[in-house]
Each structure stands twice: as C-alpha cells, then as structure tokens.
Amino acid sequence: MSVYDALRRRFDRDDIHYKVRERMNQQKKETASIIRDADAIEKYFLKRNMSLPLLYNLCTMGLTPPDETEKIGDYGKGNFYGFVPPEIKGHEGTVSYNDGMLFFNGRAHPNEWAGVEMGPMIVSHQLNVIKELVRRQRTKDGVDPLIVLTYVTGVREDHPLKSGDLGLILDDTELTNIIHPGHGPRSHLDDKEGNHFQAKAGRSSNPEVAKAFLDYAKEVGYDRVFPAIAIGTPGTSEYQSFYEVALLDAGFDRVKTGNLQHLVNKVYGEGGIDKLSMLFDMGITSELATMRQRFKEEKEFNYVAFGLGTDLVGGEQSLLIDHDAVFAAALKEGPFHRDHILEFARRFNTKLPQKLPDFSMKGNQ
C-alpha cells in the first residue's frame, strides 16, 4: 500500500478502520468526561469542608427537592458540565443540596436522543457519574450511599395502585427499547463501568433496599406504596392504545402466578402479589440497566426506583389524557411521597463494616 493510500484510508470517514477507531475514541472521551465530572463534584464538597452526599436523588416533577435545599448548579455548566440539560417540561436541570442529600432535578430522556449514535452514553452519563462517586466513597470513606430514582407514570385502571399512589418498582420491561446503555460502542466502557451483560430479573430495585423501605412504611403506617411493574410505553411518547393494554394484561396475569410472585412476596410478605400494579412510562429501563451494571466481584449498588401514578390507563380516560393534568397531579401528590422517601433515606444505614475494593474509573486508570 502506498503512503498516499495509507493516509487516505486513515482520514476517510467511510473507511471501516476509521469508524472503529472513532468509536473507541468516543468511549475514551466518555470515560474521561465521567471522571472529570466526578472530580469536579468531589472538589466542590472538599472546598466546602463537607463529605460527599449519602443520598443521590434523581428527581422528577412532583417529587422535586424540598424548599430548604440550596441550589448549587445547573446541568451543562460548571461542576455539572457533562450533565445534559433535559428538554421536557417539569425537568429543570438543576442540582441542589441539603443535609447530606444531593438532588438532581430532571434527566435527559431516551426518546429525546434516539437516533443519535452516542445517545446511550449521553443518557447514562448522569448515573455513571453518580456511580463513580459512590465507588470512591465505598473505598475512601467506608460508606455506601443510597441512590433514589423517581418517575411520573400512568397506572393500569382497576389495579390496586390508584392515581396519586406510589409504586415501588420491582420488575421492568421496555417494549420500545429505543435506547439502552448496552447499545452502541461498548468494549472500552465495559472494561471501565462493568459488563453490560447483566441479570435483569429481581434487580429493578435493589431487593434489600426495597425490603428496608417497606419495613419503614409499615413502621410509620405509610400505606400508599404498592409493588409495581414498570413498562416502557409501546407508543414511546404516545399513550397506550386499548389493544396494547389488552396484550399487556395477558402477560401481567400470567407473570403474577410465576417467578414474579416469589419476588414480590419476598419484599412485601405473603400475599404481596395481590397488590401488584402496572405502571407506564418511557425510558425507565435505560436508567435501571445503568444501575444494574457492575463488575462481577462488585457489591450491588443501593438503589431503589419509584413511580408516582398520575393518570389511569386502559379505560375511558385513555381517550382524554391531558399532560398538563398529569403535571398538576404530580405537583399535588408528589410532596407527600417525597417526604416519606427522604425520611427513609435519613434512616438508611450507609455505613460499611469495612472499606470496599476500588472499582472506580479514577482508581483504575
């Protein structure tokens, strides 16, 4: 091959070797971006002579940070430069702090980034930065913070969970699967973040954390939280048709008598399966897949996912769904459930019996 041919091949964007190099370079840039954002957040708390948070709360409308929090940043700026500003109403793209708790108000949605080659990296970046911080805390500080994910969801009409109630997500599926942290370039990121081939069953929330939350709920008489299956809406940003709901109903009835029954009863106790409800939203499984991803020898992350039911699905209301009404319902009911989630977080034991091995990207560069 002549020198000319070699140079042309090197810079020809249609050449397969160029594409392979570029995919690897994008992964390396994302690794550096995760480390950079985690470093910036860590330095911010160090300068203020404070420990890193014991709660990382990824908020949604209604389940927003309490009034007493202090805003410390915006997505896409300063210490949170790599956090993508959200584009959907109700997701402010701000970061606030109070009493050992860090609140991320909003997220980038998978349907916003479908079709973008590096979309999976963009959508999962926020949680990967949080996981990087948690990994450092496990090693340096001997603590294992709690990660809370919250969503606003539709709920199947006539199921135990009603509009205004909270679903504790124990199982999930994304019927559109438009974007996922396992999509796209992965070889380098798998080495740095943990392999994206992960067991999904029983890990929509960490089972131990889910059980601890239910124990708290029973102790304080909080009876508006139900076991739930989260379903990525088959219509993506549209709402479910009657036919789609009928198909899902058949699967729901079948799974209630299978292995899912044992999982739900393990968390809720005998008969818990009778409280199971279906929730509908977009892109939940993308974030849960990011939280599931870890190294083989690594301890599971302390994470739990909640869905706030704001509208009914499958009946006559499906003909009249109003997103502004959903927003209003979230604002009305969200603070009650948020206060319980935060009280649980304050009681949650994050102290480890001993420091854990270092799985952070920074520690393994």
pLDDT digits (tens, 9 = 90+) for 61-85: 899 999 999 999 999 999 999 999 9
Distances (CA, A) of 329 to 281, 310, 335: 15, 6, 11
What pLDDT is attached to residue 316?
84
Strand partners, 55: 101, 146
What pLDDT is attached to residue 188?
94
Number of H helices, E strands in the chain: 10, 9
Half-sphere exposure of 9 (CA within 13 A, CB side): 9
pLDDT above 60 (res 1): no
Convert the pLDDT of each residue in 140-170 to its tens digit: 999 999 999 999 999 999 999 999 999 999 9
Average pLDDT value for residue range 316-337: 86
pLDDT above 80 (res 88): no
What pLDDT is attached to residue 232?
86
- Structure confidence at residue 320 as a pLDDT band (50, 70, 90): confident
Query: What mean pLDDT is reported for the chain?
Result: 91
| Domains of the chain, residue spans | 23-350+357-364
Q: 3-state secondary structure string, 163-226?
A: CCCEEEEEEEEECCCCCCCCCCCCHHHHHHHCCCCCCCCCCCCCHHHHHHHHHHHHHHCCCCEE
pLDDT above 60 (res 289): yes
Q: Which two tokens stand for residue 87?
A: 């584009």
What pLDDT is attached to residue 282?
81
CA 114 centroid distance within chain: 17
pLDDT above 70 (res 10): no
Convert the pLDDT of each residue in 15-31 to its tens digit: 888 888 999 999 999 99
Convert the pLDDT of each residue in 93-118 to its tens digit: 999 999 999 999 989 888 888 888 89
Nearest alpha carbon to residue 296 among 204, 203, 141, 190: 190
- Structure confidence at residue 258 as a pLDDT band (50, 70, 90): confident
- Structure confidence at residue 323 as a pLDDT band (50, 70, 90): confident
Phi, psi of 6 (to 5 degrees): -65, -45
- Structure confidence at residue 9 as a pLDDT band (50, 70, 90): low
CATH class of 23-350+357-364: alpha beta
- Structure confidence at residue 218 as a pLDDT band (50, 70, 90): very high
